[in-house]
């Protein structure tokens, strides 16, 4: 089973799902709805990715990817694994590497269709220093 296999994820597709897709379309992440609040973080990795994070319970997210279609990056204490499409390079989501904490998935909301993001509030997280919201 590959990383996107629904059996491995242990959940069924959410009803009336919206999909965040990478540029080439190889990776599809289904959720019930786009969060109304997205997080922009200024830490060393998030600011470079330019990601807007939408957080979900792991069981509420279905990730479809071809075998070997995702590649990941972790650094330093390797707390999180940041996933991207191996083909087109789009950053799709991150998870916590520790089993105990692997209960949420942060989906990169920039991969939803722009219309789905209209009206969403963007909060700014100071992940670089205080780890507090700046607004
Ligand atoms: Zn892709």
Tens of pLDDT, residues 10-28: 456 566 689 999 999 999 9
Distance 21 CA to ligand 1 centre (A): 8
Query: Can you give the CATH number for the domain in which 84 is found?
Result: 2.170.150.70
Structurally, the chain folds into a number of domains equal to: 1
**9 or 90: which carries more pLDDT confidence?**
90
Distance 43 CA to ligand 1 centre (A): 24
Rounded mean pLDDT, 31-48: 95
In the chain, the N- to C-terminal Cα span, in Å, equals: 42
Residue 40 lies in a domain: yes
Rounded CA-CA distance 64/19 in Å is 10
Rounded mean pLDDT, 36-53: 96
Distance 135 CA to ligand 1 centre (A): 33
Residue 130 lies in a domain: no
Cα angle 29-105-27, degrees, rounded to a multiple of 5: 25
Residue 3 lies in a domain: no
Range of the structural domain that residue 64 is part of: 18-125
Burial of 84 (0-12, 13-18, 19+ CB in 10 A): buried
Q: How high is the pLDDT of residue 13?
A: 59
Residue 133 lies in a domain: no
Distance 72 CA to ligand 1 centre (A): 13
Q: How high is the pLDDT of residue 12?
A: 60
Distance 22 CA to ligand 1 centre (A): 5
Residue 29 lies in a domain: yes
Residue 1 lies in a domain: no
Residue 13 lies in a domain: no
Distance 112 CA to ligand 1 centre (A): 13
Residue 6 lies in a domain: no
Distance 129 CA to ligand 1 centre (A): 32
pLDDT tens digits along 76-134: 888 899 999 999 999 999 999 888 888 999 999 999 999 999 999 999 999 999 999 99
pTM, entire model = 0.86
Helix (H) / strand (E) containing 116: helix 114-117
Distance 15 CA to ligand 1 centre (A): 24
């Amino acid at each position: 089973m590959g990383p996107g296999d629904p059996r491995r994820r242990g959940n069924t597709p959410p009803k009336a799902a919206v999909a965040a897709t990478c540029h080439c379309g190889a990776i599809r992440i289904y959720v019930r709805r786009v969060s109304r609040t997205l997080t922009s973080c200024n830490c060393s990795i998030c600011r470079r990715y330019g990601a807007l994070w939408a957080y979900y319970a792991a069981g509420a997210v279905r990730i479809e990817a071809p075998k070997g279609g995702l590649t990941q990056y972790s650094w330093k204490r390797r707390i999180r694994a940041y996933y991207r499409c191996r083909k087109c390079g789009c950053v799709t989501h991150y998870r916590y590497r520790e089993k105990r904490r692997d209960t949420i998935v942060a989906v990169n909301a920039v991969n939803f269709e722009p219309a789905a993001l209209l009206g969403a509030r963007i909060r700014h997280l100071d992940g670089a220093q205080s780890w507090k919201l700046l607004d």
